[in-house]
Amino acid sequence: MQGLDIGQTLEGGEKAQPSIAIVGGGMVGAVLALLLARNLPCAHITLFDRYEAGEQERPSFDRRSTAIAPSTEQCFRRLGLWAALAAHATPIEQIHVSDKGHAGMALFDPSDNSGAPLGYVIDNGGMGQVLLAAVNNQPNLQSVQANVKSINMVALGAVLNAGDTSGQNATVFDLVVVADGAHSSLRKQLGIDVRRVDYQQHAIVANVRHELPHQLQAFERFTPRGPIALLPKGGHASSCESALVWTCPTDELQNYQALDGAQLIQRLQSQFGFRLGRLLDIGTPNFYPLELLVAQEQVRSNVVLMGNAAHFLHPVAGQGFNLSVRDALRLVSVLKTAVAAGSSIGDLAVLQSYEKQQRADQQNTIALSHGFNRIFTRMPFPIQLLRTSGLIALELNPVLRAQFIRLLSGRAQPAA
């Protein structure tokens, strides 16, 4: 872009420092930008975002909440952001997993995680405040408001087209990270196909008030129509507010959308039960289609797909953002090694090394969220018996419990 004095230009000249562009200033793009800036102080990093630098009214930083795994908490601690984020966070001390109409259930508590919380629930708006402030205060990180329309590959790297370049003196980046969402226009422009599974479900997302305090307990309730998650909010055990992610079949969506607040609460109560007493009120619900999207290519020379552009998961296990943070940690580790060795950070072999190292974590996490939804939704009676037995085994078998928590916490793979 004009006015940016970073990287190698099309007119030539030597470049002493690697240059990285990140397209997409949501949660994943911001976290990756901060990790790169802190771990590669020699690099010039530019975060391209269609929103203004201080603007918080963006889809990523709305009234929804995000479940944070312990591995993500540790990432935020390493970035020095956890003290600020904790003001917007509620710890999860217990996770209650149940299957409506069946005996199987499992209960997890801090003893399953060495005495520490099993995770946290963070308000997206608060997370946005902290991340945007950190981005704006990082010296070797530049945030640019631009709607990047395409990526053009050239001999020395990649050039971004945001509609305002002259074609001369355009910045050539050693590496472009595409983090522009599940329906990435840049992924499509690059000709990268996706594996897609339409779950024929929608998520109903809202905040719910209930009669009894949640006591820092999260609930995962499986029903024939899909899972229901209620995650504790409010920052303390006596809070009576939870974040709701409620799955409904797409063929019933219009029926749900036609319900008023009282009717919606009544239907939710009938499916969730009374573990939080009477459900009193529900905020304005938002409806989101659910599908599995996995990019068939996550790396090319000078290009990496990250976040929902790389993989978009069912929210049943709350793993999408946490997996993306682990991807970011792994990528930064690989790039740091490449810089130390004098290798180009955009070299295909370098980026393939990242993809290979992170493959098992991605496959396991995708299988966890996909499998949970499939097994617990509209399954015949023999499968119902198997899943009931599975939940009972999960409750009683210490080995299974430990492995399950390792998957949920993000520690099932070697740390980057």
Tell me, what's the pLDDT at 27?
94
The answer to the question of residue 90 being in a domain is: yes
Report percent pLDDT > 90 for the chain.
Answer: 66
Asked if 355 contacts 299 with a C-beta cutoff of 8 angstroms, the reply is: yes
pTM above 0.75, yes or no: yes
pLDDT in tens, 350-394: 999 999 999 999 998 888 777 766 655 555 444 454 555 555 555
User: How many domains does the chain divide into?
Assistant: 1
> When comparing pLDDT for 64 and 57, which is higher?
64
pLDDT in tens, 179-235: 999 999 999 999 999 999 999 999 999 999 999 999 999 998 888 888 899 999 999
pLDDT in tens, 258-280: 999 999 999 999 999 999 999 99
What DSSP line would sit under 241-284, residue for residue? EEEEEEEEEGGGHHHHHT--HHHHHHHHHHHH-SBTBSEEEE--
The answer to the question of residue 281 being in a domain is: no
The answer to the question of residue 211 being in a domain is: no
The answer to the question of residue 223 being in a domain is: no
The answer to the question of residue 16 being in a domain is: yes
Cα-based distances in Å from 52 to 3, 26, 57, 306: 17, 12, 10, 21
Give the lowest-confidence range in 1-10, 95-104, 243-252, 394-403.
1-10
**3-class secondary-structure state, position 397:** coil
**3-class secondary-structure state, position 89:** strand
The answer to the question of residue 230 being in a domain is: no
Tell me, what's the pLDDT at 316?
75
Host domain of residue 174: 8-195+291-409
Give me the amino acid identity at 158: A
CATH code, domain with 349 = 3.50.50.60
What does the angle CA 205 – CA 194 – CA 59 come to, to the nearest 5 degrees?
A: 30
The answer to the question of residue 107 being in a domain is: yes
pLDDT greater than 90 at residue 291: yes
Which has the closest alpha carbon to 243: 222, 214, 263? Answer: 214
The answer to the question of residue 369 being in a domain is: yes
Query: Beta strand 194-210 with 217-223: parallel, antiparallel or unpaired?
Result: unpaired
